[in-house]
Amino acid sequence: MAKKSGKKPYEITSEQALAFIRRMQKAFPKAPRTKAGKARLQKYLAKFTDRQLRAVGRRVQGDLMLRAAKTIPPQNLRKRTKRKRQR
């Protein structure tokens, strides 16, 4: 069994994930097709740590089914009502 790192997963917001993707889109306006282009994209992504990339991956996967993908400010949520505990 792998040892627990004790580190909490690095979490980011939908806005931060979108900003990450936008920066990548700015650096690469189109998907690279050549070997050199693909290597440049790999080099670009290698600038980020695994934790950072995983945080983006987690957030994007979580957001894809959600439209629009954005953090909801607490004041926009309705007041919580007490509800019964369910099975």
Q: Binding residue for other proteins (CB under 8 A) from 6, 11, 35, 72?
A: 72
How far from chain centre, in Å, is Cα 17? 4
Token look-up 């894809």 returns 64
8 A C-beta contact, residue 47 and residue 3: no
List alpha helices for the chain, DSSP H: 14-27, 35-45, 50-64
Q: Applying CB under 8 A, does 68 fall inside the site for other proteins? A: yes
Q: Applying CB under 8 A, does 36 fall inside the site for other proteins? A: no
Of the pair 6, 62, the CB lying nearest other proteins is at: 62
Q: Applying CB under 8 A, does 39 fall inside the site for other proteins? A: no
Question: Closest distance between other proteins and the C-beta of residue 25, in Å?
Answer: 5
Closest by CA to 48, choosing from 15, 2, 14, 12, is 12
Binding residues for other proteins (CB under 8 A): 17-18, 21-22, 24-26, 28-32, 41, 45, 50, 53-54, 56-58, 60-69, 72, 76-78, 80, 83-87
